[in-house]
A and B are shown apart, each in its own frame.
Chain A
Amino acid sequence: MTDEYTTRIGELHAKRKKHLAMGGEAKIAKQHERGKLTVRERLDLLFDAGTFVELGLLAHQQAVRGGEVDADGTPGDGVVTGHGDVDGRQVWVIAYDFTVMAGSMGAVGEQFKAARVRELALRYRKPIVWLLDSAGARIQEAAGSTFAGTGWLFADQVVMSGVIPQVAAMLGPCAAGTAYIPGLADFVPMVKGTSSMALGGSRLVKAATGEDVTDHDMGGSQVHCYESGVGDNEVENDADCIATVRRFLSFLPSSNTETPPFVEMGDPSDRLVEGLEKIVPVNPRTAYDVRRVVKPVFDRDSWFELKPTWAKNIVIGFARAGGHSVGVVANQPMQKGGALDSDSADKAARFIRMCDAFNVPLVYLMDVPGFIVGSQVEKGGIIRHGAKMLYATSEATVPKVTVIMRKAYGAGYYVMCGKGYQPDTIVAWPFAEISVMGPEGAVNIIFNKQVEASDNPEATRAQLVETIRAQINPYLAAGWAMIDDVIDPAETRRVIIKGLEQAGDKQIGRPWRKHGNIPV
């Protein structure tokens, strides 16, 4: 080897070493003090050992319109990009490095590095994960009317939507317009205490409206996982967050052209579900926690709930049924009696569409007294929001299995995949009640005159209520073959798995259209 050759190779290794060291020891110590991992520690957790391939390690800040540049102090231009394997499957990543210029999004990092990851992930049809910990756009590079040339990333995300899974893991701030990255993503876990997102950061808010609020108070997980519904799952720390990302991806295919991975869980498909009689009250007015039904019905330890702390009157999540990945939509009688409202309809509709886009079959566990009625919910646009769930359930062409556990009332029955929405299997438990409305409401409308004319209106009303109640049991519907069967609740697991397997070759043709017009 010549000296010159050795020198050149030495330079390369020195550059690599410098860039792998991120923003330097002091910045790394500060990152750890905040309770956060560094971007490279996070990538070690995200990918299977030794699989990460980095693109753009040697990039750094460049002069934009003659502005100041710190080429030496900006390893990677504040973002680490590349791909690695998650459970043996290729996944692409854009991971912001808060130790370099607060992970701000500069011209090199965005227009070359992040853009390349988006392009290649889509080219190869592989999932994309953002690890967000960024002060937002690097204003010194972005201010000015050349802003006119930006914005591609969201357009790219929309093109990717329903083609490849998109995850936005919130591990720090995600300020300003970049908050639309999670806004468009399929899954948004948020670390408690350190993560936040808002369309305008606190300093911008102060300037724009005069409001004094911190980034955390405005956009932390306590807002987005509990009130706004933008976040999915609140997690305790960075490691939990990344474990949650891996778990989420395990239920989905790499793209919409594949089926989800099958994972043998060692739980027999014909296992009877024991103990439901201790969980589900036969009295349809009494509440119970539907998650106690979900867990024993699906494969052991497979239940992965999404958005567990928002719109709790509906429960959504992934599980495995005989090893098959499924999306579960279940009414939650513990919250608002399980009655549906705008937020719960939005929550379910978006989940149903994600499952349908990525070939994940749907299982509906129904116990719904209907949509909440009255002036308050009408002002909130419940018709518009409820229509989203109606639309999503109707539009979904993946295998659909419906189990009517207890109540199946009104439009609640429709959006929970009643007969009209083409379930592949629809069954009821013996104490199911299926009706356009409850007996009391029906008597008020149908027999109002008889009740008023009666000598003893209350007795007449009670008698009529009982007459109607006798007609809402599932045997009338089963007698008409409008539902496929009435089953012992213990058979629920077996019936669901058989139903999914029955529909394995399902194909549905629909008329050509550019796209439907979902009520948004």
Chain B
Amino acid sequence: MTEVKAELVGNVWKVKTEPGAHVAEEDELLILESMKMEIPVTAPRAGTVKEVRVKEGEVVKEGQVLVVLE
């Protein structure tokens, strides 16, 4: 199981995956909006999305778990 965490504080702008989805390494899971930038969050490895722990519009902290892969 791999926890994908926010690397900086920001808004969840778009969620681009859902539980059960199969993803390849580097696939975009969601896009954060922070510091005037759209910041893609990608899968660190291939796997299946177990959980998406955030909703669009939510503010997340650095280190917060966004998605869980298995």
Say which residue of B8, B38, B40, B61 sits within 8 Å of A339 (CB atoms).
B8
A374 lies within 8 A of chain B by Cβ: yes
| CA of A119 to CA of B57, assembled, Å | 62
B7 lies within 8 A of chain A by Cβ: yes
Closest to A334 in B: B40
Contacts of B62 in A (CB 8 A): 376
Is there contact, CB below 8 Å, between A339 and B9? no
Is there contact, CB below 8 Å, between A374 and B9? yes
Is there contact, CB below 8 Å, between B35 and A372? yes
- Interface size, chain A (Cβ < 8 Å): 21
Is there contact, CB below 8 Å, between B35 and A287? no
Say which residue of A370, A376, A409 sits within 8 Å of B9 (CB atoms).
A376
Closest to A373 in B: B35
B52 lies within 8 A of chain A by Cβ: no
Contacts of A440 in B (CB 8 A): 36
Closest to B7 in A: A336
A286 lies within 8 A of chain B by Cβ: yes
| CA of A440 to CA of B35, assembled, Å | 11
Is there contact, CB below 8 Å, between B37 and A339? yes
Q: For chain A, residues 302 to 356, give those with C-beta under 8 angstroms from any C-beta of chain B.
A: 333, 335-339, 341
Q: For chain B, residues 29 to 70, give those with C-beta under 8 angstroms from any C-beta of chain A.
A: 34-40, 61-62
Contacts of A376 in B (CB 8 A): 9, 61-62
What 0/1 pattern do residues 396 to 417 of A give for CB contact below 8 A with B? 0000000000010100000000
| CA of A341 to CA of B34, assembled, Å | 13
**Main SS of the interface on chain B?**
loop
**Main SS of the interface on chain A?**
loop
Closest to A285 in B: B38
Contacts of B9 in A (CB 8 A): 372, 374, 376
| CA of A409 to CA of B36, assembled, Å | 10
Contacts of A373 in B (CB 8 A): 35
A127 lies within 8 A of chain B by Cβ: no
Closest to A376 in B: B62
A438 lies within 8 A of chain B by Cβ: yes
Is there contact, CB below 8 Å, between B36 and A284? yes
Closest to B33 in A: A285
Contacts of B61 in A (CB 8 A): 376
Is there contact, CB below 8 Å, between A287 and B8? no
| CA of A54 to CA of B61, assembled, Å | 56
Given contacts A336-B8, A339-B8, contact A370 B38 (CB under 8 A): no
Closest to B39 in A: A337
A369 lies within 8 A of chain B by Cβ: yes
Contacts of B37 in A (CB 8 A): 285, 287, 333, 337-339, 369
Q: How far is the CB of A161 from chain B (nearest CB, A)?
A: 33
Contacts of A333 in B (CB 8 A): 37
Is there contact, CB below 8 Å, between A369 and B8? no
| CA of A407 to CA of B35, assembled, Å | 11
Is there contact, CB below 8 Å, between B8 and A407? no
| CA of A378 to CA of B35, assembled, Å | 15
Q: How far is the CB of B65 from chain A (nearest CB, A)?
A: 16
| CA of A254 to CA of B8, assembled, Å | 41
| CA of A519 to CA of B50, assembled, Å | 45
Closest to B37 in A: A337
| CA of A228 to CA of B38, assembled, Å | 27
Closest to B32 in A: A337
**Residue with the greatest number of chain A CB neighbours at <10 A, chosen from B7, B35, B39, B62:** B35
| CA of A284 to CA of B33, assembled, Å | 13
Q: How far is the CB of B34 from chain A (nearest CB, A)?
A: 6
Is there contact, CB below 8 Å, between A370 and B7? no
| CA of A376 to CA of B61, assembled, Å | 8
Cβ contacts A to B, 19 pairs, < 8 Å: A285-B36, A285-B38, A287-B39, A333-B37, A337-B8, A337-B34, A337-B39, A339-B8, A369-B36, A369-B37, A370-B36, A372-B9, A372-B34, A372-B35, A373-B35, A374-B9, A376-B61, A407-B36, A438-B36
**Chain B residues engaging chain A, CB cutoff 8 angstroms:** 7-9, 34-40, 61-62
With A369-B36, A374-B9 known, 16 other A-B pairs at CB within 8 A are A285-B37, A286-B38, A287-B37, A287-B38, A287-B40, A336-B39, A337-B35, A337-B36, A337-B37, A337-B39, A339-B34, A369-B37, A372-B34, A376-B61, A438-B36, A440-B36
